[in-house]
Each structure stands twice: as structure tokens, then as C-alpha cells.
Amino acid sequence: MTKYILIIQFILAGVIIPQQADSLIQVYPGIGDTLNLFNRTYIGLFPEVKNFDYAVFYISNKDSLVTKIYYSANDTTKETVRVQNILSYDSIYTIIRAINSINYELRKLRNNIYFETKEGNWIEGQLEMFDEKYIYVLSANVRADHVGQMRYRIPVSSINWLTIEGESYTLMGMLTGSAAGGIIGAIAYSLIRKKQDGSSLKSCTADADNAATALAVCAGITLGGFLIGTIIGSSQSTDDNVIYFETDMDVLKLSGYSYYVLDKEMLNERKYFDIY
């Protein structure tokens, strides 16, 4: 009898051991082994799963990626399991890395913003970055005990709306166009006068008329450059973008404008004061 019990135990062990061999795996730094709804929306993984809650990643037997996806259905949490070749892990990692590389470049941006809190406070400054809970800004004279520009964080839940100021290139276009037109006009004026000096015209009246013509050409070219520069500058200008914070996910509309803090460890590098 004991012999049969030992055989049964070995058989069960053969089933149980591979399951216990499953080990949690970090899908990407900053995400860990669990992909929450916010990061899933930002990255765009599993778009076909409705009512997604979170997903957990495992390596099974060193050759398979096991993804357990949890979603809501009929007021309960349900689970679906996907088993894929271990190469699928590399694909997911590569996708997230590519998206976060673009995101990392946004750390260089400092868009001018102004926003209103639910308490009616109106604040302006520069947007540094954001995550699912806060936006992080550089602003001046926000608190009575702070003089000058400081770093602040504001809960997303306390913001009514936020405006990202557009960039105007009209003035730059006007100045650049005028400068280019002026240079071309001056060259044209010089060439016309040189041609006139080498001609057989002798009368002072003729010289004056031709000088006026040269100046008119120069002025016309400069004006043309001014108009062309204004048109180009205006066409390249961007409008203000107003974002309303009605749901927790609305802060993701800042993607493309500012750096999303995927890895929270980097927040330890700087001190941020709270604004409510």
C-alpha cells in the first residue's frame, strides 16, 4: 500500500513541480511583473482585452512566457491565461523600450502651461513631467513661503483643466523674411547701380531716376520677404491645447507634450513641493 502511495506522490509531483517552476518576471524596469491599467493604456498592450484590470507575467520552464490577464466582467474579476514562446517576452520588452525611448526624449521639453485647480486656484509655469497621480511643474511664487521658481507636484485629481500654450513663429518669420528680403534687395540694388554706373547715362536726372528705381526694387524685395516670412511663420505656429481632467486617464493626454514618469525611482533625484 505504501508503495502505491509513493508512486501516486511521484506522479503528482510530476504535475506540481512544473507549475511551481513558474517564476514572476519583470516585464520592464519601472513596470515590474505587474502591468496595471494606466501603464497598459500608455503602452498599448492587449488592446483587444475589454475591461482590463491588470496582467502578471511569468516564465515557465525557462521556455515559455505565461501572461495572466485579469479583467472585470459582471461585477467580478476574471482571469485568462496566455502561454507563448519565450521569444514573445523579447518582443514585448522591445515594444515598451521603443515607446519609452521616445518618452525619454520628452524630458528635454518645458512647455509653458497654466491650469485651474478644483479649489479655483490659477497657476502657471513650465510642465516638467507627469504620472498617473501627479503633474510636476516649475512655477514661481506659488506659496507664500517660497520665493522664486520652485518645483511642485499637483494631484491630477485636483485639476479642472490645463492649457498647454502653443508656439508662435509669426514674429520669427517676419524678422527672418525681412532680413532675407533685405539682403537680396541690397544685392539687387548693388547690381542695378553697378550696371547704371557703367552705362552711358550722364544726366543727373537720369541718375536720380535710376537710383530711385533701384531703391524701389530693394524695398519691394524686402517687403516680399517680410510677407513670405509672415505667412510661413504663421503656418508653423501651433494653437493652445486645452485638456479637461474628467477621468483618471485624461492625464495621458499629456503624452507627446511631456515626459511620463514610468520609473518612479527617478523621482528621488529631485525635491518637489506639494500644491493642492
Write out pLDDT tens, residues 86-126.
999 999 999 999 999 999 999 888 999 999 988 888 889 99
Residues 47 and 113 placed together within one structural domain of the fold: no
Coil, helix or strand at residue 4? helix
Residues 217 and 158 placed together within one structural domain of the fold: no
Residues 124 and 95 placed together within one structural domain of the fold: no
pTM listed for this prediction: 0.65
Residues 136 and 181 placed together within one structural domain of the fold: no
Residues 194 and 267 placed together within one structural domain of the fold: no
From 36, 86, 100, select the one nearest 58 (Cα to Cα): 86
What sections of the chain are H helices per DSSP? Answer: 2-20, 37-43, 87-105, 170-197, 204-236
Residues 66 and 179 placed together within one structural domain of the fold: no
- Outline where DSSP puts E strands in 131-200: 134-140, 149-155, 159-164
Residues 251 and 147 placed together within one structural domain of the fold: yes
Q: Which domain holds residue 264?
A: 109-166+239-274
Whether the CB-CB separation of 188 and 218 falls below 8 Å is answered with: yes
Residues 92 and 214 placed together within one structural domain of the fold: no
79: left (phi over 0), alpha (psi -120 to 50) or beta: beta
Residues 22 and 158 placed together within one structural domain of the fold: no
Residues 66 and 135 placed together within one structural domain of the fold: no
Residues 229 and 248 placed together within one structural domain of the fold: no
Where do we find the cell 479642472?
A: 160
Residues 127 and 82 placed together within one structural domain of the fold: no
Residue 128 cell numbers, joined: 516638467
Residue 228 cell numbers, joined: 513670405
Say how many Å lie between the first and final Cα of the chain, rounded: 72
Segment 175-222, tens digit of pLDDT = 555 566 566 766 665 666 566 555 544 454 555 556 666 666 666 766
Number of domains in the chain: 3
